[in-house]
Amino acid sequence: MRTASATAQAQHGAIDINRFRHPIEFLFEEHDRQRVICAAFELLAHDCAADRAPEIAALILGYLEHEMPLHIADEEEDLFPLLTRRCTPEDEFEELVALLSCEHETDEKHYLALLAPLRAIVNGLGPPDPVQFAADARAFAVRQRRHLGWENGTVLPLARRRLTAADRAELGRKMAERRGISDRP
Ligand SMILES: [Fe+2]
Ligand SMILES: [Fe+2]
């Protein structure tokens, strides 16, 4: 069976290890890609029978199936534990991380439910219930933008302030390994 990292590597092709030397910037870039996904969902919600709908659905599907699980793991398994170690009580990170982890769980359930209708659009069939799909797609975009607001506005600035050079190196190494790349010979 193919591992998640091997699949990710196949998706990315040759990933430049240098991108992971600046892991916080990589996470900001990933959030920019998630904003594109939100906009793509809104396009489909507006008209899931448009000529370009299969192409747009394929873009979203690729991201949700391959990139999103890696991104959530980057945050849950590496970034949040590092920040929990480094933040001071006045950062109030504990409350924030509880909220964001809860959102990761519920968002995962919601986007997994969107995969089947997206596949149907990719195959030119259209979602079984277009009205429900449009509502779910718009709701995903709203929730995701709020989540990105917390992470870009609070979590990543905290990471810039609190993580040491060694923390950043460890974070980048783990994120690269998760995608099946290593800078070791
Ligand atoms: Fe994130
Ligand atoms: Fe997140």
Q: Give the CATH number of the domain where residue 169 resides.
A: 1.20.120.520
151 within some domain: yes
CA of 126 to the centre of ligand 2 (A): 29
How many independent structural domains does the chain possess? 1
CA of 49 to the centre of ligand 1 (A): 30
CA of 185 to the centre of ligand 2 (A): 32
127 within some domain: yes
pLDDT tens digit sequence for 32-47:
999 999 999 999 999 9
pLDDT tens digit sequence for 107-145:
888 888 999 999 999 999 989 999 999 999 999 999 999
Between the two ends of the chain, the Cα-to-Cα distance in Å is 25
118 within some domain: yes
* Ligand having the closest approach to the CA of 76: 2
125 within some domain: yes
Contact present, 160 and 24 (Cβ < 8 Å)? yes
56 within some domain: yes
CA of 110 to the centre of ligand 2 (A): 14
10 within some domain: no
Q: What is the pLDDT of residue 110?
A: 87
Q: What is the pLDDT of residue 174?
A: 95
84 within some domain: yes
Domain that holds residue 158: 19-178
- Quick check: pTM over 0.75? yes
Measured CA to CA in angstroms, residue 43 lies from 77, 133, 137, 146 at distances of: 32, 12, 9, 19
The 8 Å CB, 24+ separation contacts for 114-118 are 114/64, 114/140, 115/61, 115/64, 115/65, 118/57, 118/60, 118/61, 118/64
CA of 125 to the centre of ligand 1 (A): 32
